[in-house]
Amino acid sequence: APLGVAVIGTGRMGADHVRRIHDVTSGARVTAVVDVDAERAKAVAARVDGCTAHTDPAAAMAAADVDAVLIASPGPAHEAALLAAFEHDLPVLCEKPLTPDAASALRVLEAELRLGHRRVQVGFMRRYDPEYAKLKALLATGQLGRPLMLHNRHRNVASPPFFTSSMLISDSVAHEADATRWLLGHEITAVTVLRPTPSASAPEALQDPQFVVFETDGGALSDVEIFVNCGFGYQVQAEVVCERGTARIGDGHALVTNMAGRWGGTIAQDWTERFETAYDQEIQAWVDATRRGEVTGPSVWDGYAAAAVCEAGVRALEDGGRAEVELVEKPALYA
C-alpha cells in the first residue's frame, strides 16, 4: 500500500509538497494535512481525494491512515511536531531548519536517541540537487586533490517582511552550513561574519548582504555571500578550490541563447524553480527509504550541527567578528 503522509503546515512549502506527493512521487499519498489556519488546511485537503484537514498535529498523527509525517510549518514549530511524531514512532521528513537554535535541536537529538533509532530526514534538499550531487561525486574521486576553499553565493530576489538580520544566517545560510559539511566531510569549527554597508534595496535595519566565513576541522575555509534582496533572481552557486583544480556549479547555463547581438539566458526567480528536481528527489528518496524501513539522508545530527553553526554565526553577527562552534560529542547512532 502507498505510504500515508500527514503534511504539517500547508503554506508555501507544505502546499507544494502536497502537490508533489500527489502528482510526482510514487508510492505515497497525502492522507492528512494540518495547519493552525483551518481554512488553509481545508483548501489544500480539498485538492486530494480522501485527505482530511486538521488544526492539531497530534490528531493527524493518531489517524489510522497516517504512516509518516512531513513537517513544513515554520522553524519555531518544528520541535513540538517532531516530539509528537516520536511519541507515535512515525518516520519524519522535517523541512530545514531542524529547529531555529542549537538548544532545541539538541533536545530533538536527545529525544531521538531515547527512541533508539533514527526517524528523521532533514530537508537539506541541496544534497539531492543534480549539480550538487555531481560536485560531491567529483570530490569523492579524489582527482582534484584536497579541498582548500569553497566559495558560495546565495541570492534571493527579496526577503519576506518578517525576515531579520539573524535570519539571513539561521534561515538562509543554514543551507551552506549543511552543504559545506556534506561536500567537504568536515565539521565547521568557527564562523566569522563581515557586514558591508547594507543595500539601499534592503528593508530598513536589515543587514543585507552579509559575508560569512566558516573554518572547518579539515583545515578548509568556506565563504558565503548571503544577499536576500538582490532584486534580480534566485542564485545559488558553489565553487570548490582544491590542490589540483577547481569545480563550480550553479551558473544556470543549461540554456544559452544568441539573439539580436546579445547572448544570455534566464535566472530562476525562487527556490521552487531552482531546486524543483532536488525537492522531487528528496521526497522520493524519503518515501522509498521509509517503505524499506530505513532512514537515509541528512540526519538529526546534521540538523543539530547546522543549528550550532548558525547560532555561532548569529553570535558573530551580533558581537562583530568570529565565534567558535560548540558541538556535543557525536552519538554512535549517527556514526
Q: Where do contacts with ligand NAD occur on this chain (CB under 6 A)?
A: 8-14, 34-37, 40, 57, 72-75, 77, 95-96, 123, 125, 171, 271, 275
Residue 152 near ligand ISE by CB under 6 A:
no
Task: List beta partners, residue 278.
Answer: none
C-beta of 176 vs 215, nearer to ligand ISE: 176
Pick the closer one to ligand NAD by CB: 57 or 313.
Answer: 57
Tell me the number of residues near ligand ISE by CB under 6 A.
7
Distance, CA of 2 to CA of 5 (rounded, Å) = 9
**Cα–Cα distance, 6 to 66 (Å, whole number):** 6
Task: Please state, in angstroms and rounded to a whole number, the distance separating the CA atoms of residues 211 and 227.
Answer: 9
Return the residue of 33, 61, 228, 242 that touches ligand ISE, per CB under 6 A.
228
Q: Residue 2's binding partner, choosing from ligand NAD, ligand ISE, none, with beta-carbon cut-off 5 to 8 A by kind?
A: none
Region label for 256, one of left (φ > 0), alpha (ψ between -120 and 50) or beta (otherwise) = beta
**Residue 227 or 271: which CB sits closer to ligand NAD?**
271
How far apart are alpha carbons 233 and 251 in whole angstroms?
12
What gap in Å lies between CA 294 and CA 150, rounded to an integer? 32
Q: Helices 102-115 and 300-319: crossing angle, nearest 10°?
A: 170
CB atoms < 10 A from the CB of 142, how many? 10
**Smallest separation, CB 242 to ligand ISE (Å):** 26
Instruction: Report the partner that residue 172 touches, choosing among ligand NAD, ligand ISE, none (CB closer than 5 to 8 A by kind).
Output: ligand ISE
Interaction between residue 271 and ligand ISE (CB under 6 A): yes
74 contact choice in ligand ISE, ligand NAD, none (CB below 5 to 8 Å, kind-dependent)? ligand NAD
112 residue type, one letter: E
47 binds, among ligand ISE, ligand NAD, none (CB under 5 to 8 A by kind): none
Contacts 24+ apart (CB under 8 A), 11-16: 11/35, 11/40, 11/72, 11/73, 11/74, 12/272, 13/72, 13/95, 14/44, 14/70, 14/72, 14/73, 15/44, 16/272, 16/279
Question: With CB cut-offs between 5 and 8 Å by kind, which of ligand ISE, ligand NAD, none does residue 156 bind?
Answer: ligand ISE
Residue nearer to ligand ISE on the CB measure, 112 or 178: 178
Closest to ligand NAD by CB, 20 vs 192, is 20
Q: Which of 25, 104, 156, 166 binds ligand ISE (CB under 6 A)?
A: 156
Stretch that binds ligand ISE, among 15-23, 110-118, 171-179, 182-190 (CB under 6 A): 171-179
By beta-carbon proximity to ligand ISE, the closer residue of 138 and 157 is 157
Candidate residues 31, 73, 172, 216; the one interacting with ligand ISE per rule CB under 6 A: 172
324 binds, among ligand NAD, ligand ISE, none (CB under 5 to 8 A by kind): none
C-alpha cell of 259? Answer: 539573439
Contact of 229 with 160, CB cutoff 8 Å: no
Least distance in angstroms from the C-beta of 10 to ligand NAD: 5
Q: Name the packing angle between helices 12-23 and 276-291 (round to 10°).
A: 60
Footprint on this chain of ligand ISE (rule: CB under 6 A): 96, 156, 171-172, 175, 228, 271
